[in-house]
A and B are shown apart, each in its own frame.
Chain A
Amino acid sequence: MPAATITVLALVWRVSHTLVAFVGSAILLLVVLELVRRRRLFERYAILWLASAIALIALSLWGGLLNFVAGALGINQATNALFAIAFGFVLVLLLHFSIAVSRLSDQSKVLAQRLALSEERLREVTASARRAEAEGQPESELETRPKPVPVPAPARRVAGADGAAEPPVRAARGIVAGRRPPAG
Protein backbone atom coordinates (compact mmCIF):
# COMPACT_ATOMS: atom_id res chain seq x y z
CA MET A 1 0.00 0.00 0.00
CA PRO A 2 1.52 3.36 -0.99
CA ALA A 3 2.56 5.63 1.82
CA ALA A 4 0.28 8.41 0.54
CA THR A 5 -2.80 6.23 0.89
CA ILE A 6 -1.87 5.38 4.43
CA THR A 7 -1.48 9.04 5.25
CA VAL A 8 -4.88 9.84 3.78
CA LEU A 9 -6.50 6.96 5.61
CA ALA A 10 -4.91 8.06 8.85
CA LEU A 11 -6.16 11.59 8.29
CA VAL A 12 -9.70 10.38 7.56
CA TRP A 13 -9.51 8.15 10.61
CA ARG A 14 -8.50 11.02 12.81
CA VAL A 15 -11.01 13.43 11.27
CA SER A 16 -13.83 10.93 11.69
CA HIS A 17 -12.88 10.47 15.34
CA THR A 18 -12.95 14.20 15.83
CA LEU A 19 -16.18 14.46 13.89
CA VAL A 20 -17.89 11.80 15.98
CA ALA A 21 -16.70 13.46 19.18
CA PHE A 22 -17.86 16.88 18.00
CA VAL A 23 -21.25 15.71 16.73
CA GLY A 24 -21.86 13.70 19.88
CA SER A 25 -21.02 16.61 22.15
CA ALA A 26 -23.10 19.02 20.06
CA ILE A 27 -26.12 16.71 20.21
CA LEU A 28 -25.71 16.47 23.98
CA LEU A 29 -25.62 20.26 24.24
CA LEU A 30 -28.72 20.68 22.08
CA VAL A 31 -30.68 17.99 23.92
CA VAL A 32 -29.91 19.56 27.28
CA LEU A 33 -30.90 23.01 26.05
CA GLU A 34 -34.11 21.65 24.58
CA LEU A 35 -34.99 19.87 27.82
CA VAL A 36 -34.47 23.09 29.75
CA ARG A 37 -36.60 24.96 27.22
CA ARG A 38 -39.44 22.47 27.71
CA ARG A 39 -39.05 22.67 31.51
CA ARG A 40 -38.32 18.98 31.62
CA LEU A 41 -34.94 19.68 33.23
CA PHE A 42 -34.33 22.26 35.92
CA GLU A 43 -31.59 24.77 35.28
CA ARG A 44 -29.80 23.74 38.44
CA TYR A 45 -29.41 20.19 37.13
CA ALA A 46 -28.68 21.38 33.60
CA ILE A 47 -25.65 23.44 34.54
CA LEU A 48 -23.35 20.45 35.02
CA TRP A 49 -24.57 18.87 31.80
CA LEU A 50 -24.01 22.09 29.87
CA ALA A 51 -20.54 22.46 31.31
CA SER A 52 -19.72 18.89 30.27
CA ALA A 53 -21.03 19.37 26.75
CA ILE A 54 -19.22 22.67 26.22
CA ALA A 55 -15.95 21.28 27.53
CA LEU A 56 -16.25 18.26 25.26
CA ILE A 57 -17.00 20.44 22.23
CA ALA A 58 -14.01 22.63 22.99
CA LEU A 59 -11.74 19.61 23.31
CA SER A 60 -13.01 17.95 20.15
CA LEU A 61 -12.51 21.10 18.07
CA TRP A 62 -9.29 22.37 19.57
CA GLY A 63 -6.87 19.55 18.95
CA GLY A 64 -3.96 21.36 20.59
CA LEU A 65 -5.70 21.46 23.94
CA LEU A 66 -6.71 17.84 23.64
CA ASN A 67 -3.16 16.80 22.73
CA PHE A 68 -1.83 18.75 25.68
CA VAL A 69 -4.29 17.06 28.05
CA ALA A 70 -3.57 13.66 26.53
CA GLY A 71 0.14 14.19 26.99
CA ALA A 72 -0.34 15.28 30.56
CA LEU A 73 -2.43 12.18 31.25
CA GLY A 74 0.01 9.91 29.43
CA ILE A 75 -2.56 8.81 26.85
CA ASN A 76 -1.20 8.07 23.38
CA GLN A 77 -4.36 8.46 21.36
CA ALA A 78 -5.79 11.95 21.84
CA THR A 79 -9.38 10.84 21.24
CA ASN A 80 -9.02 8.37 24.07
CA ALA A 81 -8.23 11.31 26.30
CA LEU A 82 -11.50 12.85 25.16
CA PHE A 83 -13.43 9.79 26.27
CA ALA A 84 -11.53 9.66 29.54
CA ILE A 85 -12.51 13.26 30.23
CA ALA A 86 -16.12 12.53 29.27
CA PHE A 87 -16.06 9.61 31.71
CA GLY A 88 -14.81 11.95 34.43
CA PHE A 89 -17.75 14.27 33.80
CA VAL A 90 -20.14 11.32 33.99
CA LEU A 91 -18.71 10.34 37.38
CA VAL A 92 -19.21 13.87 38.69
CA LEU A 93 -22.76 13.93 37.36
CA LEU A 94 -23.60 10.59 38.98
CA LEU A 95 -22.26 11.75 42.31
CA HIS A 96 -24.31 14.90 41.91
CA PHE A 97 -27.44 12.84 41.36
CA SER A 98 -26.71 10.61 44.34
CA ILE A 99 -26.54 13.75 46.46
CA ALA A 100 -29.81 14.98 44.96
CA VAL A 101 -31.48 11.62 45.65
CA SER A 102 -30.29 11.68 49.27
CA ARG A 103 -31.71 15.14 49.70
CA LEU A 104 -35.01 14.07 48.17
CA SER A 105 -35.25 11.04 50.48
CA ASP A 106 -34.69 13.32 53.43
CA GLN A 107 -37.38 15.70 52.25
CA SER A 108 -39.88 12.93 51.58
CA LYS A 109 -39.17 11.42 55.01
CA VAL A 110 -39.96 14.73 56.70
CA LEU A 111 -43.09 15.15 54.57
CA ALA A 112 -44.26 11.64 55.37
CA GLN A 113 -43.77 12.23 59.09
CA ARG A 114 -45.70 15.47 58.97
CA LEU A 115 -48.46 13.79 56.97
CA ALA A 116 -48.76 11.01 59.55
CA LEU A 117 -48.98 13.56 62.35
CA SER A 118 -51.62 15.56 60.50
CA GLU A 119 -53.71 12.51 59.70
CA GLU A 120 -53.70 11.39 63.32
CA ARG A 121 -54.67 14.90 64.35
CA LEU A 122 -57.48 15.02 61.83
CA ARG A 123 -58.73 11.66 63.01
CA GLU A 124 -58.83 12.82 66.60
CA VAL A 125 -60.59 16.06 65.77
CA THR A 126 -63.14 14.25 63.61
CA ALA A 127 -63.79 11.64 66.26
CA SER A 128 -64.25 14.18 69.02
CA ALA A 129 -66.50 16.29 66.83
CA ARG A 130 -68.65 13.23 66.26
CA ARG A 131 -68.72 12.52 69.95
CA ALA A 132 -69.68 16.10 70.68
CA GLU A 133 -72.44 15.87 68.12
CA ALA A 134 -73.72 12.63 69.61
CA GLU A 135 -73.77 14.30 73.00
CA GLY A 136 -75.66 17.23 71.59
CA GLN A 137 -72.95 19.61 72.67
CA PRO A 138 -72.03 22.60 70.58
CA GLU A 139 -68.91 21.89 68.60
CA SER A 140 -67.12 24.87 70.02
CA GLU A 141 -66.54 22.94 73.22
CA LEU A 142 -64.11 20.56 71.63
CA GLU A 143 -61.46 21.48 74.17
CA THR A 144 -63.23 19.51 76.85
CA ARG A 145 -63.14 16.30 74.87
CA PRO A 146 -61.82 13.20 76.57
CA LYS A 147 -59.06 10.99 75.29
CA PRO A 148 -60.36 8.78 72.51
CA VAL A 149 -59.25 5.61 74.21
CA PRO A 150 -58.70 6.47 77.85
CA VAL A 151 -56.65 4.06 79.88
CA PRO A 152 -57.84 3.90 83.50
CA ALA A 153 -58.26 7.60 84.29
CA PRO A 154 -62.01 7.82 83.65
CA ALA A 155 -62.64 11.19 85.24
CA ARG A 156 -63.80 13.00 82.14
CA ARG A 157 -64.95 10.05 80.14
CA VAL A 158 -68.03 10.61 78.04
CA ALA A 159 -70.48 7.79 78.16
CA GLY A 160 -70.31 5.67 75.05
CA ALA A 161 -66.88 6.92 74.10
CA ASP A 162 -65.14 3.69 75.00
CA GLY A 163 -62.90 2.08 72.46
CA ALA A 164 -65.28 -0.85 72.33
CA ALA A 165 -68.44 1.16 71.93
CA GLU A 166 -67.12 3.36 69.20
CA PRO A 167 -66.07 1.94 65.86
CA PRO A 168 -62.61 2.92 64.70
CA VAL A 169 -62.70 6.11 62.73
CA ARG A 170 -60.30 4.86 60.15
CA ALA A 171 -61.38 1.79 58.22
CA ALA A 172 -58.52 1.30 55.85
CA ARG A 173 -55.44 3.36 55.12
CA GLY A 174 -56.15 7.04 55.39
CA ILE A 175 -59.16 8.92 56.61
CA VAL A 176 -62.62 7.82 55.65
CA ALA A 177 -64.51 9.77 58.25
CA GLY A 178 -67.38 11.57 56.67
CA ARG A 179 -67.35 14.84 58.49
CA ARG A 180 -64.66 17.41 58.29
CA PRO A 181 -63.66 19.31 61.42
CA PRO A 182 -65.22 22.73 61.71
CA ALA A 183 -63.27 25.37 59.87
CA GLY A 184 -61.21 27.83 61.86
Chain B
Amino acid sequence: MRVLETYPGPRARDHDAEVAVRDGVRRLAIIPAYNEAVTVAGVVQSLRRHAPEWDAVVIDDGSTDETAELAERAGARVLQAPFNLGIGGAVQLGFVYALENGYDYMVQVDADGQHDPREIRTLVAEMDEHPQLDVVCGSRFLSDDYEYPAPVSRRTGIHLFAFLMSALVRQQVSDPTSGFRLYNRRAIALFARDYPHDYPEVEAVLLLHHHRLRMREVPVQMFPREGGASSINSGKSAYYMVKVLLAIFVGLARRRPVVEPGDEAPVTATHSI
Protein backbone atom coordinates (compact mmCIF):
# COMPACT_ATOMS: atom_id res chain seq x y z
CA MET B 1 0.00 0.00 0.00
CA ARG B 2 2.82 2.32 0.86
CA VAL B 3 4.24 1.88 -2.61
CA LEU B 4 1.03 3.09 -4.16
CA GLU B 5 0.93 6.13 -1.94
CA THR B 6 4.49 7.19 -2.56
CA TYR B 7 4.50 6.54 -6.29
CA PRO B 8 5.04 10.00 -7.76
CA GLY B 9 3.18 9.29 -10.97
CA PRO B 10 4.52 9.40 -14.50
CA ARG B 11 4.66 13.18 -14.88
CA ALA B 12 6.34 13.90 -11.57
CA ARG B 13 9.51 12.07 -12.47
CA ASP B 14 12.65 14.11 -11.96
CA HIS B 15 14.75 14.83 -14.98
CA ASP B 16 17.82 12.73 -14.93
CA ALA B 17 21.40 13.78 -14.59
CA GLU B 18 22.59 11.06 -16.95
CA VAL B 19 21.35 12.76 -20.09
CA ALA B 20 24.18 13.84 -22.34
CA VAL B 21 24.06 17.58 -22.76
CA ARG B 22 25.93 19.28 -25.57
CA ASP B 23 25.53 23.06 -26.02
CA GLY B 24 22.65 22.86 -23.56
CA VAL B 25 20.72 20.74 -26.05
CA ARG B 26 19.60 17.20 -25.28
CA ARG B 27 19.49 14.80 -28.18
CA LEU B 28 18.03 11.33 -28.22
CA ALA B 29 18.41 8.73 -30.95
CA ILE B 30 15.99 5.84 -30.63
CA ILE B 31 16.50 2.57 -32.42
CA PRO B 32 13.38 0.41 -32.34
CA ALA B 33 14.48 -3.20 -32.75
CA TYR B 34 12.52 -6.41 -33.02
CA ASN B 35 14.76 -9.46 -33.48
CA GLU B 36 17.56 -7.46 -35.06
CA ALA B 37 20.51 -9.19 -33.38
CA VAL B 38 22.38 -9.36 -36.68
CA THR B 39 22.50 -5.62 -37.25
CA VAL B 40 21.67 -3.72 -34.07
CA ALA B 41 25.19 -3.60 -32.65
CA GLY B 42 26.55 -2.22 -35.90
CA VAL B 43 23.91 0.49 -35.97
CA VAL B 44 24.66 1.48 -32.36
CA GLN B 45 28.40 1.61 -33.01
CA SER B 46 27.93 3.61 -36.18
CA LEU B 47 25.68 6.01 -34.28
CA ARG B 48 28.20 6.47 -31.50
CA ARG B 49 30.98 7.05 -33.99
CA HIS B 50 29.22 9.36 -36.43
CA ALA B 51 26.71 11.07 -34.15
CA PRO B 52 28.32 10.99 -30.69
CA GLU B 53 26.25 13.86 -29.32
CA TRP B 54 23.13 11.73 -29.58
CA ASP B 55 22.18 9.40 -26.72
CA ALA B 56 21.57 6.00 -28.24
CA VAL B 57 18.56 4.19 -26.81
CA VAL B 58 17.54 0.86 -28.30
CA ILE B 59 13.92 -0.07 -27.81
CA ASP B 60 13.82 -3.82 -27.71
CA ASP B 61 10.29 -4.61 -28.79
CA GLY B 62 9.94 -8.01 -27.18
CA SER B 63 12.72 -9.66 -29.18
CA THR B 64 13.32 -13.36 -28.69
CA ASP B 65 16.94 -13.17 -29.81
CA GLU B 66 19.93 -11.37 -28.29
CA THR B 67 19.01 -7.90 -29.56
CA ALA B 68 18.96 -6.34 -26.09
CA GLU B 69 22.23 -7.87 -24.91
CA LEU B 70 24.12 -6.96 -28.06
CA ALA B 71 22.75 -3.43 -28.05
CA GLU B 72 23.75 -2.93 -24.44
CA ARG B 73 27.21 -4.32 -25.07
CA ALA B 74 27.58 -1.96 -28.01
CA GLY B 75 26.97 0.93 -25.63
CA ALA B 76 23.31 1.76 -25.99
CA ARG B 77 20.79 2.17 -23.26
CA VAL B 78 18.03 -0.39 -23.68
CA LEU B 79 14.31 -0.11 -23.02
CA GLN B 80 12.71 -3.54 -23.01
CA ALA B 81 9.05 -3.91 -23.81
CA PRO B 82 7.60 -6.89 -21.95
CA PHE B 83 5.97 -8.13 -25.15
CA ASN B 84 5.90 -7.17 -28.79
CA LEU B 85 4.15 -3.82 -28.94
CA GLY B 86 4.47 -3.36 -32.67
CA ILE B 87 6.50 -0.60 -34.26
CA GLY B 88 3.99 2.10 -33.30
CA GLY B 89 3.97 1.22 -29.62
CA ALA B 90 7.75 0.84 -29.57
CA VAL B 91 8.40 4.22 -31.14
CA GLN B 92 5.83 5.83 -28.88
CA LEU B 93 7.76 4.40 -25.95
CA GLY B 94 10.70 6.37 -27.31
CA PHE B 95 8.62 9.53 -27.45
CA VAL B 96 7.48 9.07 -23.85
CA TYR B 97 11.08 8.48 -22.78
CA ALA B 98 12.21 11.60 -24.62
CA LEU B 99 9.42 13.69 -23.13
CA GLU B 100 9.97 12.56 -19.56
CA ASN B 101 13.74 12.96 -19.73
CA GLY B 102 13.52 16.42 -21.17
CA TYR B 103 15.07 15.80 -24.55
CA ASP B 104 14.95 18.64 -27.06
CA TYR B 105 15.35 16.53 -30.17
CA MET B 106 14.67 12.95 -31.00
CA VAL B 107 15.72 11.09 -34.09
CA GLN B 108 14.52 7.64 -35.08
CA VAL B 109 16.99 5.29 -36.72
CA ASP B 110 16.05 1.85 -37.97
CA ALA B 111 17.91 -1.08 -36.43
CA ASP B 112 18.31 -2.93 -39.71
CA GLY B 113 21.01 -0.61 -41.06
CA GLN B 114 18.79 1.07 -43.67
CA HIS B 115 19.43 4.50 -42.23
CA ASP B 116 22.91 5.99 -42.18
CA PRO B 117 23.66 7.77 -38.88
CA ARG B 118 25.91 10.15 -40.84
CA GLU B 119 22.75 11.49 -42.46
CA ILE B 120 21.39 12.67 -39.11
CA ARG B 121 23.30 15.86 -39.63
CA THR B 122 21.41 16.37 -42.89
CA LEU B 123 18.17 16.32 -40.93
CA VAL B 124 19.59 18.57 -38.22
CA ALA B 125 20.91 21.08 -40.75
CA GLU B 126 17.44 21.39 -42.26
CA MET B 127 15.84 21.98 -38.88
CA ASP B 128 18.53 24.49 -37.88
CA GLU B 129 17.98 26.36 -41.10
CA HIS B 130 14.20 26.39 -40.67
CA PRO B 131 13.48 26.64 -36.95
CA GLN B 132 9.75 26.72 -37.60
CA LEU B 133 9.89 23.05 -38.59
CA ASP B 134 8.74 20.45 -36.07
CA VAL B 135 9.66 17.32 -38.00
CA VAL B 136 12.28 16.70 -40.67
CA CYS B 137 11.90 13.48 -42.56
CA GLY B 138 14.57 11.74 -44.59
CA SER B 139 13.25 10.75 -48.00
CA ARG B 140 14.93 8.19 -50.20
CA PHE B 141 13.08 9.41 -53.28
CA LEU B 142 14.20 13.03 -53.38
CA SER B 143 17.83 12.52 -54.26
CA ASP B 144 18.62 12.32 -57.95
CA ASP B 145 20.62 9.15 -57.78
CA TYR B 146 18.30 7.11 -55.68
CA GLU B 147 18.24 3.39 -56.13
CA TYR B 148 15.75 1.63 -53.94
CA PRO B 149 15.81 -2.09 -54.50
CA ALA B 150 12.29 -2.89 -53.39
CA PRO B 151 9.74 -5.07 -55.10
CA VAL B 152 7.42 -3.28 -57.49
CA SER B 153 4.41 -3.95 -55.27
CA ARG B 154 5.97 -2.17 -52.32
CA ARG B 155 7.14 0.78 -54.40
CA THR B 156 3.66 1.06 -55.86
CA GLY B 157 2.22 1.11 -52.35
CA ILE B 158 4.65 3.78 -51.20
CA HIS B 159 3.92 5.95 -54.22
CA LEU B 160 0.19 5.54 -53.72
CA PHE B 161 0.54 6.72 -50.12
CA ALA B 162 2.83 9.52 -51.27
CA PHE B 163 0.21 10.70 -53.76
CA LEU B 164 -2.60 10.49 -51.19
CA MET B 165 -0.69 12.23 -48.42
CA SER B 166 0.56 14.97 -50.71
CA ALA B 167 -3.03 15.68 -51.71
CA LEU B 168 -4.33 15.56 -48.15
CA VAL B 169 -1.71 17.71 -46.45
CA ARG B 170 -1.25 19.94 -49.51
CA GLN B 171 2.51 19.75 -49.66
CA GLN B 172 4.86 17.31 -51.28
CA VAL B 173 5.33 14.10 -49.32
CA SER B 174 7.52 11.83 -51.39
CA ASP B 175 8.33 9.15 -48.81
CA PRO B 176 5.55 8.89 -46.23
CA THR B 177 6.68 5.45 -45.04
CA SER B 178 10.16 6.60 -44.08
CA GLY B 179 10.90 6.17 -40.40
CA PHE B 180 14.08 8.25 -40.55
CA ARG B 181 12.75 11.36 -38.85
CA LEU B 182 13.93 14.13 -36.59
CA TYR B 183 11.43 15.54 -34.08
CA ASN B 184 11.53 18.63 -31.91
CA ARG B 185 9.87 19.03 -28.52
CA ARG B 186 6.44 19.88 -29.89
CA ALA B 187 6.39 16.79 -32.07
CA ILE B 188 7.74 14.65 -29.22
CA ALA B 189 4.98 15.88 -26.92
CA LEU B 190 2.31 15.22 -29.54
CA PHE B 191 3.44 11.70 -30.37
CA ALA B 192 4.08 10.74 -26.75
CA ARG B 193 0.38 11.42 -26.26
CA ASP B 194 -0.93 9.90 -29.45
CA TYR B 195 0.88 7.70 -31.93
CA PRO B 196 -0.70 5.12 -34.23
CA HIS B 197 -0.57 1.49 -33.13
CA ASP B 198 0.96 -0.29 -36.09
CA TYR B 199 2.46 0.90 -39.37
CA PRO B 200 2.45 4.41 -37.93
CA GLU B 201 4.56 6.50 -40.32
CA VAL B 202 1.93 7.43 -42.87
CA GLU B 203 -0.72 8.18 -40.28
CA ALA B 204 1.76 10.25 -38.30
CA VAL B 205 2.11 12.63 -41.25
CA LEU B 206 -1.63 13.18 -41.14
CA LEU B 207 -1.56 13.67 -37.36
CA LEU B 208 1.09 16.35 -37.76
CA HIS B 209 -1.05 18.11 -40.31
CA HIS B 210 -4.13 17.96 -38.06
CA HIS B 211 -2.20 19.47 -35.19
CA ARG B 212 -0.71 22.22 -37.35
CA LEU B 213 2.83 20.97 -36.91
CA ARG B 214 5.20 21.49 -39.81
CA MET B 215 7.13 18.79 -41.54
CA ARG B 216 9.56 18.88 -44.41
CA GLU B 217 11.50 16.21 -46.26
CA VAL B 218 15.16 16.19 -47.13
CA PRO B 219 16.88 13.77 -49.49
CA VAL B 220 18.91 11.08 -47.76
CA GLN B 221 20.66 7.96 -48.85
CA MET B 222 19.19 4.71 -47.60
CA PHE B 223 20.69 1.27 -47.79
CA PRO B 224 19.04 -2.08 -48.33
CA ARG B 225 18.78 -4.02 -45.08
CA GLU B 226 22.07 -5.44 -43.91
CA GLY B 227 20.57 -8.61 -42.53
CA GLY B 228 17.65 -10.12 -40.73
CA ALA B 229 14.16 -10.05 -42.15
CA SER B 230 11.76 -7.19 -42.67
CA SER B 231 8.71 -7.30 -40.47
CA ILE B 232 6.59 -6.64 -43.55
CA ASN B 233 6.23 -9.75 -45.68
CA SER B 234 3.91 -10.24 -48.61
CA GLY B 235 1.10 -11.53 -46.45
CA LYS B 236 1.24 -8.52 -44.21
CA SER B 237 1.56 -5.96 -46.96
CA ALA B 238 -2.06 -6.40 -48.00
CA TYR B 239 -3.10 -5.82 -44.42
CA TYR B 240 -0.70 -2.89 -44.31
CA MET B 241 -2.37 -1.24 -47.30
CA VAL B 242 -5.90 -1.73 -45.99
CA LYS B 243 -5.06 -0.70 -42.45
CA VAL B 244 -3.27 2.48 -43.46
CA LEU B 245 -5.92 3.47 -45.98
CA LEU B 246 -8.62 2.94 -43.35
CA ALA B 247 -6.61 4.92 -40.82
CA ILE B 248 -6.11 7.78 -43.28
CA PHE B 249 -9.75 8.13 -44.24
CA VAL B 250 -11.18 7.56 -40.78
CA GLY B 251 -8.48 9.84 -39.40
CA LEU B 252 -9.77 12.61 -41.63
CA ALA B 253 -13.06 12.56 -39.77
CA ARG B 254 -11.53 12.14 -36.34
CA ARG B 255 -11.59 15.03 -33.95
CA ARG B 256 -8.18 16.08 -32.78
CA PRO B 257 -7.47 14.00 -29.72
CA VAL B 258 -5.93 16.67 -27.56
CA VAL B 259 -6.55 15.93 -23.91
CA GLU B 260 -6.78 19.13 -21.93
CA PRO B 261 -6.30 19.11 -18.17
CA GLY B 262 -9.57 18.13 -16.57
CA ASP B 263 -10.81 16.21 -19.60
CA GLU B 264 -11.80 12.60 -19.42
CA ALA B 265 -8.85 10.22 -19.19
CA PRO B 266 -7.90 8.99 -22.66
CA VAL B 267 -7.27 5.46 -21.39
CA THR B 268 -9.71 4.14 -18.87
CA ALA B 269 -10.68 0.83 -17.34
CA THR B 270 -13.97 2.11 -15.95
CA HIS B 271 -16.70 2.69 -18.47
CA SER B 272 -20.36 2.10 -19.11
CA ILE B 273 -21.54 -0.25 -21.84
Residues of A within 8 A of B (CB): 44, 47-48, 96, 103, 105-107, 109-110, 112-117, 119-120, 124, 143-153, 163, 168, 170, 173-174, 184
| B85 and A112 contacting across the interface, CB-CB below 8 Å | yes
Task: Find out whether the CB atom of B48 lies under 8 angstroms from the CB atom of A151.
Answer: yes
A113 in contact with B100 given A119-B80, A151-B52 (CB within 8 Å): no
The answer to whether B82 touches A115, judged by C-beta atoms less than 8 angstroms apart, is yes
**B92-A120 in contact (CB<8A):** no
Q: Do the beta carbons of A44 and B82 come within 8 Å of each other?
A: no
Cβ contacts A to B, 28 pairs, < 8 Å: A44-B272, A103-B271, A107-B267, A109-B89, A109-B197, A112-B82, A113-B81, A113-B93, A113-B96, A115-B81, A116-B59, A116-B79, A116-B82, A117-B79, A117-B93, A117-B100, A120-B77, A120-B78, A148-B77, A151-B20, A151-B48, A151-B52, A152-B52, A153-B22, A170-B78, A173-B68, A174-B80, A184-B6
CB <8 Å contact, A145 and B78 = no
**Contact of B269 with A by CB under 8 A:** yes
Contact of B97 with A117 in the complex, beta carbons under 8 Å: yes
Residues of the B chain whose Cβ atoms lie less than 8 Å from the Cβ of A105: 197
A143-B17, A151-B20 given as contacts; is B80 within 8 A of A173 (CB)? Answer: yes
A113 to B267, CA, bound (A): 13
B residues 2-60 in Cβ contact with A at 8 Å: 6, 10, 16-20, 22, 48, 52-53, 55-56, 59
Q: How far is the CA of A103 from the CA of B72 in the complex (A)?
A: 33
Q: Would you call A144 and B20 a contact (CB within 8 A)?
A: no
Interchain CB contact under 8 A, A96 and B273 = yes
The answer to whether B92 touches A113, judged by C-beta atoms less than 8 angstroms apart, is: yes
1/0 per residue, CB under 8 A from A, across B238-273: the answer is 000000000000000000000000000001110111
Q: A47-B273, A146-B18, A170-B68 are in contact. Are A112 and B77 (CB under 8 A)?
A: no
CB-CB nearest 7 A-B residue pairs? A147-B18, A113-B93, A116-B79, A149-B75, A151-B52, A109-B89, A168-B72
**A152 and B75 alpha carbons, distance in the complex (Å):** 12
A164 CB to nearest chain B CB (Å)? 9
Number of interface residues of B (CB under 8 A): 41
Bound complex: CA A96 to CA B77 (Å): 41
Question: CA–CA, A151 to B47, complex, Å?
Answer: 10
Assess whether B187 is interfacial by the CB under 8 Å rule. no
Task: Collect the chain A residues with CB atoms within 8 Å of residue B22's CB.
Answer: 153
Q: Evaluate contact between B18 and A120: CB separation under 8 angstroms.
A: no
Query: Does B20 contact A113, Cβ atoms closer than 8 Å?
Result: no
B186-207 residues at the A interface, CB under 8 angstroms: 197
Which residues of B57-102 are within 8 A (CB) of A? Answer: 59, 68-69, 72-73, 75-83, 85, 89, 92-93, 96-97, 100
Is there contact, CB below 8 Å, between A112 and B83?
yes
Q: Which residues of chain A come closer than 8 Å to B10, judged between CB atoms?
A: 114
Please, how many angstroms separate the alpha-carbon atoms of A116 and B80 in the complex?
Answer: 5
- From the candidates B69, B268, B269, B273, name the one contacting A168 in the complex (CB within 8 A): B69
A182–B80 Cα distance when bound, in Å, is 23
Q: Report Cα–Cα, A116/B94, bound state, in Å.
A: 10
Given known contacts A106-B267, A153-B22, A170-B72, what 8 new A-B pairs fall within 8 Å (CB)?
Answer: A113-B81, A113-B93, A114-B10, A116-B79, A120-B79, A149-B77, A170-B80, A174-B80
A residues in contact with B73, CB < 8 Å: 163, 168
Nearest chain B CB to A32's CB is how many angstroms away?
14
| Contacting residues, chain B, for A149 (C-beta < 8 A) | 75-77
Q: CB-CB < 8 A to B19: which residues of A? A: 147
Q: A96 to chain B: which residues have CB within 8 Å?
A: 273
> What is the CB-to-nearest-CB distance from A79 to chain B, in angstroms, rounded to a whole number?
29
Question: With A and B bound together, what is the CA distance between A14 and B100 in angstroms?
Answer: 68
CA distance A168 to B73 in the complex (A): 7
- Alpha-carbon gap, A116 to B100, bound state (A): 13
CB neighbours of A114 from chain B (8 A): 10
Name B76's closest neighbour in chain A (CB-CB): A149
- Tell me the complex Cα distance, A114–B97, Å: 9
